[in-house]
Amino acid sequence: MSSKSFEFNASNLEAWQKAATKSAPGGDVNALNWKTPDGIVVKPLYTAADTANLPYANTLPGFEPFLRGPQATMYAVRPWTIRQYAGFSTAEESNAFYRKALAAGGQGVSVAFDLATHRGYDSDHPRVTGDVGKAGVAIDSVEDMKILFDQIPLDKVSVSMTMNGAVLPVLAGYVVAAEEQGVSQDKLSGTIQNDILKEFMVRNTYIYPPEPSMKIIGDIIEYTAKHMPKFNSISISGYHMQEAGANQALEMAFTLADGKEYVKTAIAKGMDVDAFAGRLSFFWAVGMNFYLEIAKMRAARLLWCRIMKGFDAKNPKSLMLRTHSQTSGWSLTEQDPYNNVVRTTIEAMAAVFGGTQSLHTNSFDEAIALPTEFSARIARNTQLIIQEETHITNVIDPWAGSFMMESLTQEMADKSWAIIEEVEAMGGMTKAVGSGWAKLKIEAAAAEKQARIDSGKDVIVGVNKYKLAKEDPIETLSIDNVRVRDGQIERLQAIRASRDSAKVQAALDALSASAESGQGNLLDLSIQAVRLRATVGEVSDALEKTFGRHRADTQKVTGVYAAAYDDGENVGDTMEYWNQLKADIVAFADAQGRRPRVMISKLGQDGHDRGAKVVATAFADLGYDVDMGPLFQTPEECARQAIENDVHAVGVSTLAAGHKTLVPAIIAELKKQGADDIIVFVGGVIPRQDYDILYEAGVKGIYGPGTPIPVSAKDVLEQIKKALG
């Protein structure tokens, strides 16, 4: 072996290109390039030349612009916080889970609320019959909150709460529960999500329109800065954007632009930027795009520092982007579900390499049902193993200096900054959200991704490649929604019977008056009302009297899904299947005098509409006539619209475990209104053991996660033909 050291130069690179050309497809080295969904070209080889002119490749952790981490020593001194995001129907069951998780190595509590709570309804409200206790814990009052945190010392355990719409009564309930546990507000640590702009784009658990919602956020930032100095007043969330279909650059750009808007809102209230900016935090999704996720988290810190300097922030803590991360729920598959353990591990590694401050790892069964205690333990142990066994924590920013990672970090930053500038040109994120532009950008990305999977361009192991011949059932968690709701109603009745109703009404009237006048702090007034045992629904209603309840316009993108089939790259079975199905739909229209018409609907309070929007887009691109029902319909409203629109079929998209209640209800309602010739099909997260219940109720097709949309579209067409005779 020669002792002469290697020197990189243009001649060496040329030699590599010649060698690589021999084995590259078609003799073209450029064929080895990978174009990411963000439009970034990732090369197969990076060299010192790629980082020679990068301005931040040699910075240090804990110092501006914090690209390498917000803390100087990162995990070498203190690993990230292990969180377990969970809510199990009742406060009692959730409390038992949190206490077990903390005893088994968990380091913080992360609360998932049911959809009735998110949308500001008490459990006895008629619109939430199928939602109470599903997909999270039902909280109606401070009495529920006290049970939720029973024997959990709130002066020692940080609490993260994913809450946006009903943020005022929920945060107030937490504060009052702590007070009655003997913990003052200044001792409370944790985070409230309080990120309403992303709700209007993707998750849809809003209550009030954008303008009054921003007023609520400003009041919370103001109150917590004065009274809760250890508590993070907002967690600016990209997670739900990526789950809804955004690529990494879009997720980062929109999230940082949201953050910028919240800072403007607080400054407009007369607050000094350094008085609150240090308590802002972020929340990222971490999916299977391993390199991009690491680069995204590094680039986000760089850009946030740039943004905050634009607000003349002086305190280094105001310039730091600190983040919680969660592994992707969307990447989890119903098929061959134990593969999800591997997926979650890879995503957790990306979050750690990217420098997250806390992390939740999803359970492998979450594409099928709510996680069991068994699956939750595996998810938690995934983090413990990374922390305790791998020695990854001993090195600060292990990817620093990587030719590829430093280059990719800069490219991600540049890509996202261009989108942020586009948003600013529109007048900021509130305007971009209000126009519907931001939402449509995400929905287009979602449709394109689904088409790439369905056409086989993107491989999902166990779904469109390496599929099992037979799927073995796994044990899943089932929630008795009726039992939970009955228990909540009983507790509500007891609270209302025992409180001073006149004082409660006076407190609620003060809230309504503040919302009307703009005077006073809404969180302060909510805490006063909750101390008197006002409920979540009552506080929400008091504000709704002035603010109103937001109703979104339903739009859908067109042509994006079809483009993945029509771009000339498809060969073989998928293209043939697509073209034949389009021809079958044309033949149906010729025979019937109109195209097959379907209505895609969301029932109950489930606002996760990625699946519904993608299915609507794909069906329309195939030639179906597609109606979109508005969010949050009752079965009665859905049936009425289906009949008025003269549809052949109603497709119900469900992700929040309400299918056993709501789907039979829509079938019964169609029959009651004399339209039982309209067929009903269902897609989404549905455990296999529930299939027979739905089929017995009259469902004609069930399409779980991973079902190619053209396959479901063909089956729906056949079911419509059968119904027509």
CB-based contact 21:373 (threshold 8 Å): no
Residue 549: name the closest of 55, 37, 121, 35 by CA.
Answer: 121
Residue showing tokens 């956020």:
217
CB-based contact 68:60 (threshold 8 Å): yes
- 239, 262, 291, 561: the catalytic one is 239
679 phi/psi in degrees, rounded to 5 = -80, 155
- 215, 441, 449, 608: the catalytic one is 608
Is 240 an annotated catalytic residue?
yes
Is residue 220 within a helix (H) or strand (E), and if so which, with residue range? helix 210-227
Residue 567: name the closest of 462, 652, 718, 451 by CA.
Answer: 451
- 118, 296, 360, 602: the catalytic one is 602
Residue 599, classed as helix, strand or coil, is strand
Residue showing tokens 């079809």:
562
What strand order describes the sheet that includes 649-654? 625-628, 597-601, 649-654, 679-684, 701-703
Residue showing tokens 């029959």:
671
Is 85 an annotated catalytic residue?
yes
Is 624 an annotated catalytic residue?
no
CB-based contact 62:389 (threshold 8 Å): no
- Tell me how far apart the alpha carbons of residues 518 and 226 are, in angstroms, rounded to a whole number: 19
Residues sharing a CB contact under 8 Å with residue 391, sequence separation 6 or more, in sequence order: none
Q: How many CB atoms lie within 10 A of CB 34?
A: 10
Bridge partners for 600 per DSSP:
628, 651
- Tell me how far apart the alpha carbons of residues 191 and 178 are, in angstroms, rounded to a whole number: 15
Residue 75: DSSP 8-state: G
- Tell me how far apart the alpha carbons of residues 117 and 123 are, in angstroms, rounded to a whole number: 8
CA torsion sign for 241, 243, 246, 247 is positive
CA torsion sign for 34, 353, 326, 550 is negative
Bridge partners for 235 per DSSP:
281
Is residue 326 within a helix (H) or strand (E), and if so which, with residue range? strand 323-327
Is 75 an annotated catalytic residue?
no
- 118, 240, 613, 659: the catalytic one is 240
- 85, 121, 561, 577: the catalytic one is 85
Bridge partners for 84 per DSSP:
109
Is residue 214 within a helix (H) or strand (E), and if so which, with residue range? helix 210-227
- 50, 144, 606, 625: the catalytic one is 606
- Tell me how far apart the alpha carbons of residues 415 and 420 are, in angstroms, rounded to a whole number: 9
Q: How many CB atoms lie within 10 A of CB 496?
A: 16
- Tell me how far apart the alpha carbons of residues 143 and 141 are, in angstroms, rounded to a whole number: 5
CB-based contact 633:607 (threshold 8 Å): no
Residues sharing a CB contact under 8 Å with residue 493, sequence separation 6 or more, in sequence order: none
- Tell me how far apart the alpha carbons of residues 236 and 216 are, in angstroms, rounded to a whole number: 15
637 phi/psi in degrees, rounded to 5 = -65, -40
Is 602 an annotated catalytic residue?
yes
Which residues are designated catalytic?
A: 85, 239-240, 602, 606, 608
